[in-house]
């Protein structure tokens, strides 16, 4: 069954390692016949959530910036893959801000069920991505039809392009290729 997949890269760095994971995931999903929409938060204007909760009544955020369109794409996607560098053992601030701005999705008839996390970090200990995964799971917990369907972590990559030939690229590709 063909799915509409949204892939959001949150690194602001050119040629980032987490974006390379997103590209591999996208390639696999596209080869499997899924429809792919891939966006980067680079050059996007996304303001912080003000906590006004107006979105809970209207279904829309009162802030007019790039998050409005991205959140609508999240709403309409069957699956979402978030790609992030690991900063201080957590997701990037850009991704956290976007997730906060997705508050209008709560209580809506969103389409997504499967959520994926693609992450990279300079540290390569197996538990490096644990807090990033936990952070995303906190967001997912607010959406009863959603689940964390998979994670890919590439450790030991610091400079742009360090991920070249890293086994996580193949893992991300395979995950995209095997979406159900």
Q: How many residues does the chain have?
A: 180
Short-list 86, 56, 65, 108, CA closest to 154: 86
pLDDT in tens, 2-32: 999 999 999 999 999 999 999 999 999 999 9
Looking at residue 60, what is its pLDDT?
87
Q: In total, how many domains does the chain have?
A: 1
Rounded CA separation 25/176 (Å): 5
Looking at residue 1, what is its pLDDT?
83
For residues 116-140, average pLDDT: 96
- Listed in sequence order, the residues at least 6 apart from 95 whose beta carbon sits closer than 8 Å to its beta carbon are 8, 10, 41, 82, 84
Q: What's the Rg (C-alpha) of the chain?
A: 15
Rounded CA separation 5/34 (Å): 7
Range of the domain at 151: 4-177
Q: What is the CATH number of the domain that holds 110?
A: 3.40.50.360
The pTM assigned to this predicted structure is 0.96
Phi/psi for 75 (5° steps) reads: -55, -45
pLDDT in tens, 95-121: 999 999 999 999 899 999 999 999 999
pLDDT in tens, 27-84: 999 999 999 999 999 999 999 999 999 998 888 899 999 999 999 999 999 999 999 9
């Amino acid at each position: 069954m063909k799915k509409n997949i949204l892939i959001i890269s949150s690194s602001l760095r050119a040629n980032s390692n987490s974006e390379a994971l997103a590209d591999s995931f996208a390639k696999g999903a596209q080869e499997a016949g899924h429809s792919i929409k891939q966006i980067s938060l680079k050059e996007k204007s996304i303001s912080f959530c003000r906590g006004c909760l107006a979105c809970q009544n209207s279904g829309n955020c009162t802030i007019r910036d790039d998050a409005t369109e991205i959140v609508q794409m999240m709403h309409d996607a069957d699956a979402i893959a978030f790609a992030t560098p690991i900063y201080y053992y957590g997701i990037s601030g850009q991704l956290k801000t976007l997730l906060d701005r997705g508050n209008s999705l709560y209580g809506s008839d969103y389409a997504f069920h499967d959520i994926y996390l693609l992450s990279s970090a300079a540290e390569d200990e197996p538990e490096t991505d644990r807090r990033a995964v936990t952070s995303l799971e906190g967001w997912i917990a607010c959406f009863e039809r959603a689940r964390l369907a998979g994670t890919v972590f590439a450790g030991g990559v610091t400079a742009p392009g360090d991920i070249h030939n890293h086994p996580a690229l193949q893992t991300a590709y395979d995950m995209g290729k095997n979406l159900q």
